[in-house]
Structure 1
Amino acid sequence: MSKVLSNKSNLQVLYEDNHVIVVNKRAGDIVQGDKTGDKPLSHVVKDFLKYKYNKPGNVYLGVVHRLDRPTTGIVLFAKTSKALPRLNKLFAEKKTTKTYWALVKNKPPKPEDRLIHWLKKNPKNNKSTAFDKEVEGSKKAILNYRILKSLDNYYLLEIDLETGRHHQIRCQLAKIDCPIKGDLKYGFPRSNKDASISLHARRLEFTHPVKKEKLNIVAPLPDDIIWQACEV
């Protein structure tokens, strides 16, 4: 893992070269602009690159994937028009490995399991519902989890996604009565003080779009007493 860099925008850069930049997203940051009008992470990264390299004019930056606003962890951006379509293809063909960590209050039914549900999104409340069988308008969702650590009041789960659906991890864990800490939308009783949910994009493995070498990026955990107890 590369050394974490910082600058006046408090951006955590986990890896950077001529073609890609990987950052550790904070809770509350939005990856791309939305109706709130808040400054998105993509613009923060552009400002960082413009300042670091003293670039005149516009800075190119391609958004490859997204994380929900209350989550933390790895977000990958393309710095060149050459890298972006190649990265998009890697994600579309599921040739990347995305590993998440989540804190839940309730112990899952099994120490590890493969969850298969059908998720249906409701755009009105921006929420998905998980079903055991296919229903009209639903999409198949698959994830694998295992209990990584037992804390005093929570369980740390490691999750590997096989599909990428709307709110998939949040929705599927809630379906097995393990809503993520702080996730009011999916049934956790209390919010986190910073309005985050305890879901962290911990690791991303992918083949560099130009160099063709394997990259394994790991994002440090949030600066929170419970998260810090999860270091294993």
Structure 2
Amino acid sequence: MKRFTAGTNEEGVRLSRFVQNVTVNLPNSLLYKSFRNKRIKVNGKKADADYRIHAGDVLELYINDEFFSAAPAPKAPARRQPPVQVVYEDENLAVLYKPAHLLCHSDRTGDANLVDAFTAYLTQKGEYIAGQEHTFAPALCNRLDRGTEGLVVAAKNYAALRDMNEIIRTDLVRKEYLTITFGKPPKGRHTAWLRHNESNNKVQVRADAAEGFKEIITEVTPEKVIGPFTLCRIGLVTGRTHQIRAHLAFLGAPVLGDIKYGNRKWNEKAGLKTQALCAVQLTFGQIPEESLLHYLSGKQIRLEQPQILTTFNDLAKLGPR
């Protein structure tokens, strides 16, 4: 038998999910059999799988030790993580600046990544102690492609992660980007249809609906032109894989530096090693009062003086088309 005392980061977590998180290779059939046979208790009483945990609950799991013994130790962040650049922070979350080329999450390369850097940051501040957590680790609420720079929201606790995910799911936060395009795209709110090919991680865009394609809506505002290049402000209404890059290419003005959908000749001439795309602003709508993050209603978080503005001004040196 294993006994756990729920902490604040288990508040509101479904009991079945908690059990799955603290065990290893426990079959679903055995999980639900344990509930039926009263082998999972909360505060000494039988509990259902859908029970929502409260901080301070004592959870007793009468499950064979073999499903606990192989549990991995909490993962420590890689030693060499870049310093976290915090744009906004409160007791529940932080908005971080992700440079181009930095991964959001770890992958098979083992390269530095933002979520491990954020975990190290909170650990150093004493706001996160891995050994004291049963189910939660600091997490990112949104992600950017490796080559894209800009704002990423990170949660410090489970309730903030849950509520921010709901805010994003219900379109209560508007995301704006700056990008540099080769050519000038038409101003306006553009609708198209996109399909993601997972085999090569590229997308196809077409003008009308078709099977397997999802609707995309992108707002485009050209702000300044230097020769063949345009600085554009982009508003995402939908948020699909590679949406901005692929949609702008479809409109005839690909993102400069984009090796998948861009203009190779001008990418090389500009000398850019990644796409000129930056998430510069988050604007929150009216968040329900019952949300932990209600206080963000109407708040705007902006990245001041992003590097992309310097990049755009430097393009004047390339001369006319």
Aligned to 2:72: none
User: Residues 15-49 of structure 1: CA distance to partner in whole angstroms, max 9, x if unpaired?
Assistant: 11110011111001111122333232100111111
* Aligned residue identity for 1:197: Q
* Aligned residue identity for 2:101: G
Percent identity between matched residues is: 30
Q: Distance in 2 between matches of 1:18 and 1:54?
A: 9
Aligned to 1:205: 283
Q: Distance in 2 between matches of 1:219 and 1:129?
A: 31
Structure with max Cα Rg: 2
User: Residues 130-169 of structure 1: CA distance to partner in whole angstroms, max 9, x if unpaired?
Assistant: 0111122110001111111223442111111111111000
| 1:141 is the counterpart of 2:253 | no
Residue pairs, 1:74-153, within 5 angstroms: 74-108=151-185, 110=186, 112-153=187-228
Q: Which moved more, 1:52-61 or 1:41-50?
A: 52-61
Cα distance change, pair 228–11 in 1 and its aligned pair in 2 (3 A): farther
Q: Which has the higher helix share?
A: 2
SS of equivalent residue, structure 1 residue 42: helix
Q: Distance in 1 between matches of 2:236 and 2:128?
A: 37
Question: Could you tell me how far 1:227 is from its partner in structure 2?
Answer: 4.1
| 1:46 is the counterpart of 2:123 | no
Question: Could you tell me how far 1:128 is from its partner in structure 2?
Answer: 0.5
What is the root-mean-square deviation in Å for CA atoms of aligned residues?
2.3
* Aligned residue identity for 1:18: E
Q: Distance in 1 between matches of 2:146 and 2:273?
A: 10
Q: Distance in 2 between matches of 1:101 and 1:168?
A: 14
Residue pairs, 1:11-26, within 5 angstroms: 11-26=84-99
Aligned 8 A contact 1:222 1:228 in 2: no
Cα distance change, pair 96–225 in 1 and its aligned pair in 2 (3 A): closer
Q: Which moved more, 1:26-35 or 1:185-194?
A: 185-194
Q: Distance in 1 between matches of 2:113 and 2:311?
A: 27
Aligned residues: 221
Q: Which has the higher strand share?
A: 1
TM superposition score normalised by structure 1 = 0.86
Cα distance change, pair 74–228 in 1 and its aligned pair in 2 (3 A): farther
TM superposition score normalised by structure 2 = 0.64
Aligned 8 A contact 2:179 2:308 in 1: no
- By relative contact order (CA 8 Å, sep 6+), the higher-ranking structure is 1
In structure 1, which of residues 25, 30, 34 is the aligned counterpart of residue 103 of structure 2?
A: 30
Residue pairs, 1:216-227, within 5 angstroms: 216-220=300-304, 221-222=306-307, 225-227=310-312
